[in-house]
A and B are shown apart, each in its own frame.
Chain A
Amino acid sequence: MPKIKSSIIWLQGLTCNGNSHSFLNYAHMERFATSFDILYHPLLLGDTSFEAILQSDVRVDFLILEGALSRDGDILQKFGYPFHKILDELSTRAKYIICAGSCASFGGIFRLKDETKISGALFNGKNKGGYWNEKTNVINIPGCPMHPAWLIDTLFLLQKEDKISLDEFLRPKEIFSYFTHHGCLRNEYFEWKVDSKQLGEKEGCLFYEYGCQGPMTHANCNKILWNGVGSKTRAGSPCLGCTEFDFPKVGLYETHTNMSLPQTPFGISKRAYYSLAGIAKSFKIDRLERKLIDENN
């Protein structure tokens, strides 16, 4: 007996296609395809037209939303319809609504254009109340873009278990209980307060000069890695905090300080952090000041 696959409709709001591209980079697409049927995706050729799906009464297991949402027909239309007509119809037919990426989750960069008209599905930035005020079947997978495994692991989990543990921003805890800081190869430099001298180098911590948001950003980027090999911080670029409700902040590549003091890591009091940082900064660790690979030594 053939395996029953879960059905997916992928709908785009205001988007750059980044999450679709990330999804298409999934390394085990064949395995995914044995368990899921994509009835519609705007970048893929399907058997049925979107119009036919819309006019039918087909139900789906997963409605995946990519991009920021708006009820304003002047801002967002698809196939000649105001977007809200499509989304309001399809959302009633979906078992789960998955927000793929930060724009669908919180509004993202598009929200900055007009916060009163553009938002995420259930959140407008930090605040509850986005495209919908209330819905119990929405799951947020933020990121700019999201990691493809975050989406697909979540789909597999829901297909198998039909339940999932979410945090206060409706993000799966299995993924978003971690911080980007966890597993960062620069942790020793963070501990001893040794800054990176320039972007892209192997040495130094990017927290003090280059605005790294790793200690405040919920994501397991440095645990599961991107394309199986790297992450922003491993490549010498700061974490930009893209899985958080306030992404994108202004001045992403600089550390914002008050009297030279940076924001403290998530859940760490100022007194605890400044004490420890002040002590660590009192020492100069020669090994950490040198190049990691020194051809002359």
Chain B
Amino acid sequence: MDKKSKKSEKILDAALLLFSKNGFYATTIPDIAKAMGMSVGNIYNYFSSKEKLAKEIIKYSSDILGEEIRKVNEQKLSSKEKIRAIVAVYFDMASTKPQHINYFLRVYLANKEVFKEGCEGMLCVSAFVTELMIFFEDGVAKGELRNQDFFSAFGLFMGYLGGFVFLNGEGVLNKDLNDYVDDIALNIYHALKLQ
């Protein structure tokens, strides 16, 4: 990675932390510049606007999560085992790098007006959604998952995980997020498996 790309990634990381914590509108480019120890003008050399930066961040997070799920997809596991591995990856990320999931839930989903041009449909979350497509298609092809509409399965899986991470963020869970992996993976498997 060249020097400029490395710097861009550092800005993405810093902005991701601030956006996910304070929200899109409450975070300013000067806040990000301050966190980076850079001048405001120099930030604009890397990202021409706050909106552009926000769109790059959702792609960045989607790529990171997509890469983790890709590793699961490439293992020789049953669909049941893959579900557990994906839940574990997602909850691990929510625990160790919560900014990625929080950004998705609290910035990307909550401020669609920012993303409507440039992130149409699945455009900015394609890396992550593609891996889920591969997982679902493979599960049906192997006769382990019930054939159904993609979004009904996708919504069940990711809606459940996103909702649970949201509850965790609200501080209402009794146990550590990672302690729920087995139960939640089993619930998802039972809902999706070929009956």
A275 and B127 in contact, given A259-B147, A261-B150, A283-B121 (Cβ under 8 angstroms): yes
Contacting pair B137 A281 (CB below 8 A): no
Complex contacts, B131 vs chain A, CB 8 Å: 271
Contact pick for A281, options B122, B134, B140, CB 8 Å:
B122
Contact pick for A282, options B120, B130, B140, CB 8 Å:
B120
Contacting pair A282 B121 (CB below 8 A): yes
Complex Cα spacing A274 to B136, Å: 12
A275 and B130 in contact, given A259-B153, A281-B121, A281-B122 (Cβ under 8 angstroms): yes
Contacting pair A274 B133 (CB below 8 A): yes
Complex Cα spacing A258 to B132, Å: 12
Contact pick for A260, options B120, B139, B150, CB 8 Å:
B150
Task: Tally B residues with Cβ within 8 Å of A.
Answer: 24
Complex Cα spacing A283 to B136, Å: 23
Tell me the total A-B contact number using a CB cutoff of 8 A.
56
Task: Tally A residues with Cβ within 8 Å of B.
Answer: 14
Chain B contact residues: over half helix, strand or loop, or mixed?
Answer: helix
A274 and B147 in contact, given A258-B137, A282-B120 (Cβ under 8 angstroms): no
In the complex, A278 has a CB within 8 A of chain B: yes
| Chain A stretch 256-297: residues in CB contact (< 8 A) with chain B | 257-261, 270-271, 274-275, 278-279, 281-283
A258 and B122 in contact, given A271-B134, A275-B127 (Cβ under 8 angstroms): no
In the complex, B27 has a CB within 8 A of chain A: no
| Chain B stretch 21-37: residues in CB contact (< 8 A) with chain A | none
Complex contacts, A258 vs chain B, CB 8 Å: 136-137, 140-141, 147
| Chain B stretch 67-107: residues in CB contact (< 8 A) with chain A | 70
In the complex, B114 has a CB within 8 A of chain A: no
Shortest beta-carbon distance from A176 to chain B in Å: 27
In the complex, B123 has a CB within 8 A of chain A: yes
Shortest beta-carbon distance from B130 to chain A in Å: 5
Contacting pair A278 B129 (CB below 8 A): yes
Complex contacts, A278 vs chain B, CB 8 Å: 121-122, 126, 129-130, 133
Complex contacts, A283 vs chain B, CB 8 Å: 120-121
Complex Cα spacing A274 to B154, Å: 15
Complex Cα spacing A275 to B130, Å: 6
Interface residues, chain B, with chain A CB atoms under 8 Å away = 70, 120-123, 126-127, 129-131, 133-134, 136-137, 139-141, 145, 147-151, 153
11 other A-B residue contacts (CB within 8 Å) besides A270-B137, A278-B122: A258-B136, A259-B145, A259-B149, A259-B150, A270-B133, A275-B126, A275-B127, A278-B129, A278-B133, A281-B122, A282-B120
